[in-house]
Amino acid sequence: MSKQPNVNFQRSIDQGDRLVPVNLRQSGDPGIQMLISNRVRKSPYWHLSVEAGCWKATVYNRMYHPRAYVRPEDGGAMEEYRALVNDVTLWNVAVERPIRVKGPDAEAFCNHVCTRDVTRVPTMMGRYVVLCDEQGHVLNDPVMLRVADDEFWFTISDSDLAYWFKGINHGLRYDVTIDEIDVSPLQVQGPKSEDLIADLVGEGVREVPYYGLMAGSIEGAEVLISQTGFSGEKGYEVYAYDSTLHAETIWNAILDKGEKYGLKVIAPAHHRRIAAGILSYGQDLDHETNPFQCNLGHMVPKAKEADYIGRDALERTRELVNQGQPPFTHQLVGLKLGGRPIEDYAPDFWLVGHDAEGEPCGWITSPWYSPELGTNIAMAYVPVASAALGTVLVAWLPDEFLDIPGQPVDAVVCEMPFRASVNPSSRERAKAAGRDHAF
C-alpha cells in the first residue's frame, strides 16, 4: 500500500473487538463550512462567544461548541495556550449540560450507575466518574457534583446520559427525578484563576479544595463554583443558575474582573489536556471502549461493596488483563512524535505502524505540540503487544508535519501525563498511594 494518507479502509488494523470500527480513512480537512441552524441548540453563551471572536465551532451534545477564537494569523491555538499557562482564560463549556438526579434515592441510584463508590463523596464535593453498560463499555465520563445529600449533578461528556438514566430507572424505580437543568457551566482556567474567582465571589473560594464546591453569587446571580477543569492547570468551573436569564450578567462580570489579570476568552484547551492525560469522549474513547483499554482501569474500584452496572464484566476484564489476555486488541498509550509542530486539531485519526515499510497497526486520537517538551505528543491506540513504555513505532502524518514528505516520523510510547498537573488526577493519586484503583 502507499505510505501516503489515503481514503482506503485500513484492513491491516485489527478492530475485531468492535461492532462498528473506527473510521480510519484519511480524508483530511475538506474546508466545508458548518451550517448554523435551529436544529442544533445554541447555549445561553453562544452569542457572547461570537462577540468574543469565535470563528470555529463543532457540535457537542447537540449544541454548538466554540473551538477557536484567536485567528491563525494572530497565533491561533498556541496563542490561546500561552494565555492559559501564563495568565487566566474563560471558556464557554455550556455543552457539558448538567443532568440532575434528585430525590430520596439519589445516592443509591448514582451509586448503581457509577463504578466509583458514590457513598464516599461528601456533600459539596465532586468526583470524576465513569458510567458503563452491562458489557463494561464506557457510556460517559462526567464530573459528578454532590450539591446536597439528595441531589447530584453530572456535567456530561458527549453522549446522552439523561436518556440512559431515565431508561435505567424505568425498570429500577428509584425514587428520583432525572432532568437536564438550566445551569450552564463556564470554565475559568489558568494560574491567575484563583485570584479572579476570589474577586468575583469572595476570599472563601481560596479554601475550596480540588473537586470542592462553593455556593455564591455574581452580580446578584446565583452560582455554584467548583475547583475543577479540563486543563491540568489551576482552574474553576462557574455554574450559573437560571443561565438563560443570567448569561450576560455572569459572562460580562468575569470579563470585567478579568481585565486586570490579562483574561482571554479561548476554546477548551485540548493542547493542554492532552499533556495532562485528560481524555476526550468520542475522540479518545467511546461506547465500545473498556476502561482498562483507555487508561481508566483505576476507575474500577476493588473495595466498593454495592453492585453497579457493568461490575461483573469489568471484574472479568481485570482478571483477563492481569492474566495477560485482555479482551481487546488495542491499548491507549502516550506517544512522543517527531515531525514539525502540530498546532491545530487533527481532522483524521492518523495512522501508526511498526516501521516505515509495514502496514498500519494503530491510530492516533489526540495529537498536539508541547512547547514545554519541545516535541509533538499524542494519545494513540496501538496493539496491546506494542503498548510497553519505550516501544518505537512510526506515525504517518500529513505532509505539512513531516520532515521528509512521504516518510513517517518516529513515535515512542511514553507515560501519561506528559507533564505534571497542578492538581494530580485520581490516577496519579492512586499510583502515589501504591494503588491501581481509585475509591
| H-only helix segments in 11-69 | 46-51
What is the rounded distance in angstroms from the CA atom of residue 98 to the CA atom of residue 96?
A: 6
What is the rounded distance in angstroms from the CA atom of residue 193 to the CA atom of residue 89?
A: 8
Residue 305, beta-bridge partner list: none
What is the rounded distance in angstroms from the CA atom of residue 190 to the CA atom of residue 263?
A: 9
Is 73 annotated to bind ligand?
A: no
Closest CA to 193 of 208, 183, 215, 179: 208
Regarding beta strands 330-337 and 409-414, do their DSSP bridges make them parallel or antiparallel, or are they unpaired?
A: antiparallel
Q: What's the gap between Cα 285 and its chain centre?
A: 10
Q: At 401, which helix (H) or strand (E)?
A: none
Contact 438, 428 (CB under 8 A): no
C-alpha separations of 54 from 48, 236, 256, 328, 426 in Å: 9, 21, 19, 39, 33
Residue 285, beta-bridge partner list: 281
Please provide the size of the chain in residues.
439
Helix (H, G, I), strand (E, B) or coil at 386: helix
* Residue 84, all three cell numbers: 492559559
Burial of 23 (0-12, 13-18, 19+ CB in 10 A): exposed
Q: At 414, which helix (H) or strand (E)?
A: strand 409-414
- Complete DSSP assignment for 150-183: TEEEEE--SS-HHHHHHHHHHHH--S-EEEE-SE
Annotated binding site for substrate: 237
Annotated binding site: 237
